[in-house]
Structure 1
Amino acid sequence: MRVTVTKSWPLLVRPSTEQSTPATTANYIKVSSFDKPLAFSAFSSFHVFDRAIHEPAETIKRALSRALDHFRLIAGRVVVGDDDDGDLCIACTGEGVEFVAATANCALEDVKLFYPPFVALLGDLAVEYPEASCRVTDPLLLMQVTEFSCGAFVLGVTWNHVVADGTGMALLLRAVGELARGMDQPSIPPDTCADQLLPDLPPLAAAIEQTMVGQLKPKDYAYLDITVPMNTIDRIKAELGDELGAPCTVFEAVTAVLWQCRSRAIMPDDDPDNPAPLVFAADARRTVGAAEGYYSNCITTQVIAPPPTIREVAEGDIKDLVRLIRSSKEQIAATFAGEGEESVPLPCVDTLFGYNALFVTSWRNLGFEATDFGGGTPARVMCHVGPESLPMCVACLPCRDKGGANVLSRFLKEEHGGAFLAELAKFR
């Protein structure tokens, strides 16, 4: 069956209690050092709801308008300063966000939610920016609600990363859901960079993010939708016990498994002693003291340094890899204090973005799993993993009934996919 998605004409959803404000008189909010490296890069998330609600598109659109009263930055526009530094601001113009209502000519079960045909459909389930990156004049948020014939629906959200990270977008969607369900205001009051003074993003993290966003060319890596079984995660956590001083986390166990299985699959016979860097994104809200409702960017990028060799990762004890990941996480506070980066040798840029390296970002506990517009939380949350410019994966995506941690990746050449899956199967 050919799936057809029919979209309405896009419209602007504005805050419900204010009119558009000319940019000349709008309140200008200077973005933080966390926002700048990600400015004008677009990102999409997909939230699959398998339980029907009444008129999902209209319900979400009305609640979104009310939510924008509280998330005023998201209804604004980016402004580039005229000074030499080209400082970025967000003008709180209230111009609104773009919204599209759509319908699919089939039931959700017809597109097989956990199989490749559904992944191929993702491009039709969100609004995309006209160009590869966001323009100054573009809305900061694009939203599409696609209703299937069975009443299930998919919410596609695309945004300019300058205005929010994943946690921030989850806060917005939580608020939209609460307002859709009849609450008077969001349960978590939103905060922005205008309300809090954050420390500067560490230079290494800023440099990595800028390189990832603007300077790397896409490569043709294979797409994999995999699950690290919960029994594997539990076994690693049990083996470590209290050795780390605090229980091993799901993220640490999953990342260690992915790192080792991938290294075994790609380890060259001729030079297995090259470094195999692990780079991962980390929420810095606790470290920098940001409020619970902070929705602007507050993520940093951490590198395990010095990096082990690919042989050490492939042949080492999985518990040792978990210890390396935990140790790197514990160094985050020191990097914000200006310590640590110069005392530990870091890999060169070519190594950091080469095929031996692995970049991991986790969506565990961002808050997407709690979004509820009246019919319950999502059956699955996904991202659009296109041809990536470096080996990367999004781990621990919310996914009901998977029995483990769902991972979407493009971090392997086609010829290494089978070997990786075989190594992953050994952990079961």
Structure 2
Amino acid sequence: MSIVVSKSLPVVVRPSEPVTTARKIMLSPMDKVYCPVPARVLLAFEHPIDEPAETIKRGLSQALVHYYPIAGRLATDDDGDIYIDCTGEGVTFVSASANYAMKDIMSSIDQQPSDVPATAVLLELTVNYSAEGDGRTDPLLLMQVTMFSCGGFIVGVTWNHGFADGFGMAQFLQAVGELARQLPTPSVVPVRWDESAQVMPPSLLAAYHQSVRCLPLPNLVEQNITIPWSLIKHIRGDTDGKPSSCTMFEAVAAVLWQCRTRAVMSDDRSNAPTMLYFTVNARKYTGAKDGYYGNCTTTHKAVAKSGTVANGDIMDVVGVIRRAKEQIPEQFNKDADMAIGDQLSHWQAGYGNALLLTSWRNLGFEDVDFGGGKSSRVMSHMLNFNLRMPLCVACLPCKREQGACNVLSFCVTDHHAHAFFQQIATFFT
């Protein structure tokens, strides 16, 4: 399949009206960890709207009045501290068109493995930072709107992770959609600086800083996996109509952790520990204000013997994950004895005994609406040269899959890719 995406020259979108605000906004300790890591999201919309590129560009310009720091640039003060300089220079916007219907693009992405990896397709639908850039002079956000022959369109957003996490970016894009639909103001009042968000346990921050010193893992294979709703319901035990105590996240995490452990575990490593790391929205633990869109996530871990995860009952694996989730509040207990050395082991884990799982379920991307209805599918892509731990992005919302869990995986090398895929397939039979 030869997908041709014709792109206009990039234009700069600035706030639609002058903004008189503080010029300098400091970054939180967690923000600084993610500077200048790029993050990407693509939102698919099946129903046409009038002039999608111009409509969304207008909403973007109006949203930048309320979210004025996004139109600025990163800068460094005399002490070497990074902050957002609210220069109003704007963000990058590209209008594009594709020579296929959107369903054809989706089919190409879903038919994995294939000769054309999903990332190669999705790269055409986003604007991306130069590999040589240091993030200081780059716009904090890049947006591309691609229109398809069927009338549907995809909005691809690349942003500097240092100014917003996934929750914050979803909030911003919802505001763009509301203003594109000609609402007078965004429904959520944005907050970019919050003292509460500064309160992160020192041990967690030390672990994150350690992570950026780790060497990237080479040759991780891209795989797109769909875990069907029937399997999730079976694991949750709610096939008889009774409510289950097992969440969708726990069921999906258990499947991915068990299948990957089976695929990569050697015969003499059954007693070695294996670790599942998962991202946590820390807003309710830090007391962050409503509307805060800076970085406010942490990472927690579940630990068990490799043999227990690989060979145990799937509900036992769910139990390990659930117990780890129950311990999350302890990270924010000032009286808790949290050893930094233990947290640093977070990033001393290697390819064979660790998996990082981030869930995009309920971030809010699925609620973005530019005028033709909410997004029908949420996608992402990444370049695996900067991955420092095997990774799965799970629970990517997709309406047409009727509850199925879509997973973007960079968690195994080519040597283990077939075995991992086969282990996933065994759950379907």
The normalised TM-score by structure 2 is 0.90
- For 2:388, the aligned partner's letter is S
Q: Which runs of 4+ in 1 moved over 3 A?
A: 116-119, 207-215, 343-351
* 8 Å Cα contact 2:214-2:347 kept in structure 1: no
Q: Per residue, is there more helix in 1 or in 2?
A: 2
SS, match of residue 52 in structure 1: coil
- How far is 1:345 from its partner? 5.3
2:84 to 62, 66, 90: 90
Q: Is residue 47–residue 156 contact of structure 1 (8 Å, CA) maintained in 2? A: yes
Where 1:308 maps in the other structure, the secondary structure is: strand
- 1:293-308 to structure 2, matched below 5 A, reads 293-304=291-302, 307-308=303-304
Alpha-carbon spacing, 1:414–1:16, altered in 2? closer, same or farther (3 Å): same
Read off the aligned partner of 2:84 and give its amino acid letter. I
Task: Find the residue that maps to 1:185 and give its secondary structure.
Answer: coil
Partner of 1:393: 392
Name stretches of at least 5 consecutive residues in structure 2 with no aligned partner: none
Q: Which residue of 1 aligns with 2:57?
A: 61
Residues 1:405 and 1:204: Cα distance change in structure 2 (over 3 Å): farther
- The percentage of counterpart residues that share the same residue type is 46
The one-letter code of the counterpart of 1:171 is: Q
Post-superposition shift, 1:210? 3.2
Contact (CA 8 Å) 1:42, 1:133: kept in 2 or not? no
Aligned residue identity for 2:304: P
**1 CA distance for matches of 2:339 and 2:264?**
30
8 Å CA contact 2:393, 2:409 repeated in 1: yes
CA distance, structure 2, for counterparts of residue 186 and residue 50 of structure 1? 24
2:324 aligned with 1:328, yes or no? yes
Aligned mates of 1:395, 1:166 — CA distance in 2 = 13
Match of 2:311 in 1: 315
Pairwise CA distance, 1:202: 2.5
SS of residue matched to 1:276:
strand
Once the two structures are superposed, what CA deviation does each residue of 1:397-426 show, in whole Å capped at 9, x if it has no partner?
111222411110010122322222232233
Partner of 1:103: 97
Change (3 A) 1:233 1:341: farther
Structure 1 residues 343, 201: closer, same or farther in 2, change over 3 A?
Answer: closer
SS at structure 1 position matched to 2:97: strand
In structure 2, the residue matched to 1:341 is: 338
The Cα shift of 1:271 comes to 2.5
CA contact (8 A) 1:199 1:336 kept: no
Distance change in 2, residues 1:350/1:210 (3 Å): closer
Residues 127 and 238 of structure 1, relative CA distance in 2, 3 Å threshold? same
Q: How does 1:128-147 map to 2 (within 5 A)?
A: 128-131=128-131, 134-147=134-147
Number of the residue aligned with 1:52:
48
**Following superposition of structure 1 onto structure 2, how do residues 17-416 of structure 1 map, counting pairs within 5 Å?**
17-18=17-18, 27-83=23-79, 86-111=80-105, 112=107, 113-116=109-112, 117=116, 119-131=119-131, 134-193=134-193, 195-213=194-212, 215-238=214-237, 247-304=245-302, 307-338=303-334, 339-342=336-339, 348=345, 351-387=348-384, 388-403=387-402, 404-416=404-416
For 2:137 and 2:238, the matched residues in 1 are separated by 53
Alpha-carbon distance between aligned partners in 2 of 1:255 and 1:386, rounded to the nearest angstrom: 23
User: Hey, what's the Cα distance between the residues in 1 that align with 2:321 and 2:133?
Assistant: 32
Backbone CA RMSD of aligned residues: 2.5
Task: Deviation per CA, 1:262-288: give whole Å up to 9, x if none.
Answer: 111112013222211111111001111
Q: Is the 8 A contact 2:274 2:353 kept in 1?
A: yes
Query: Partners of 1:406 and 1:250 in 2: how far apart?
Result: 12
Contact 1:240 1:248 in 2 (8 A): no
- 2:383 and 2:338 map into 1 onto residues whose CA distance is 32
Conserved? CA contact 1:167–1:366, under 8 Å: yes
1:365-424 CA distance string (max 9 Å, x none): 000011111112222211113223321110101112224111100101223222222322
Deviations 1:207-243 (A, max 9, x none): 44334445322411121111222222223323799xx
| CA distance 1:324–1:346, shift in 2 (3 Å) | farther
Output the CA distance in 1 between the equivalents of 2:345 and 2:162.
27
| Structure 1: gaps (5+ residues) | none
C-alpha contact (below 8 Å) 2:175/2:187 kept by paired residues: yes
State how many pairs are aligned.
Answer: 416
Q: Deviations over 1:274-315 (max 9, x none)?
A: 2111111110011111123111111011122xx212111111
- Structure-2 residue corresponding to 1:16: 16
